[in-house]
Amino acid sequence: MRSGPERRSRRRWWSRWLRWLPGQARRRRERETEEFVALLRQASALLQAGRRPERVWVELSGLYEPCPGGPDGPGGPRRPASRAGCCLHHVLVAADLEIMLGGEPFAAVEAPGQGRHWRQLDGCLAVSHHAGIPLGGLLERLADALEEGQDAQQARDAAAAGPRSTAQLLGFLPLAGIAMTALVGGPPTELLAGPLGWLVIGTGVGLAVIGHLWTRVLIRRSEETT
C-alpha cells in the first residue's frame, strides 16, 4: 500500500501532465474563478454578520486545509501574502499578518488562482478604507461581476466552438488527402516529380492558409457578437 506522500507525489505528477490536455487550461481558470467567488461570498457573509474587516481573513483561513510545508508551517517562517501563493489557507493567514503590519494584503498575490482577482480584491479593500463604503457590499458586487464575466466567457466559447472545429477539420484535410493517395497506390513522392504536382501542392497550401484565416475571422466575429 502506498504511503500518503507517495500518493500526493503521484497526483502532482498526473496533474502536471493533465494540464496540457485540450481544454484543461480553460477548465482550470473556471474552477479558480468559482473558488475565488466562493471566498468573496464567505467574506461578505462574515462581514454582514458583524465581523471586523481586519480579522475576517484569518477567520476564513480556518475553512481551508493548509498545504504541507507552507509559509507558516514546518517548512519555513511566515511570509507576506505576496510570497505565500501555495494555497488559500496560507495566503489568508499571510494577509492577516500584512494587515497588522499596515501593508496591502493582496496587491502582489499572484497565486493560487489568478492574480487579477487578488488585485481586484485589494482594490475593494482600498475603496472601502478610503471612502468608507461597507466592504461586504463591495465583495458581493465583485463576486457578481466575476460570475457574469464567467457566464459571458462561456457564451463566447460556445459561439466559437463551431468555427474552431471547422479550423481543426481543415487542418487535417491535407494529411488525409496524402494518406488516401498512398492507400490507392500513389506515393506522395510521385506527386513531386512534375510541375503539375507542385501546382497542386501550392494550390492546396494556399487554400489551407485562406481557410485558416477565414475561420479566424469567423471566431473573432462570434466572440464579438456575444
pLDDT in tens, 85-98: 678 888 898 888 88
Query: What integer is the mean pLDDT of 41-60?
Result: 91
* Residue 223 clears pLDDT 70, i.e. is over it: no
The cell for 194 is 512534375
Percent of the chain whose predicted confidence (pLDDT) is above 70:
71
Q: Which of residues 26 and 19 earns the better pLDDT score? A: 26
Q: List CB contacts of 72: < 8 A, sequence separation 6 or more.
A: 66, 78, 84, 90, 93, 94
- 3-state SS class at 108: coil
User: How far apart are the C-alpha atoms of 40 and 120, rounded to whole Å?
Assistant: 11
* Residue 103 clears pLDDT 90, i.e. is over it: no
- pLDDT, one tens digit per residue, over 146-166 is 999 888 888 777 777 777 777
Going by C-alpha positions, the residue among 123, 57, 41, 76 that lies closest to residue 84 is 76
pLDDT of res. 85: 62
* Residue 23 clears pLDDT 80, i.e. is over it: no
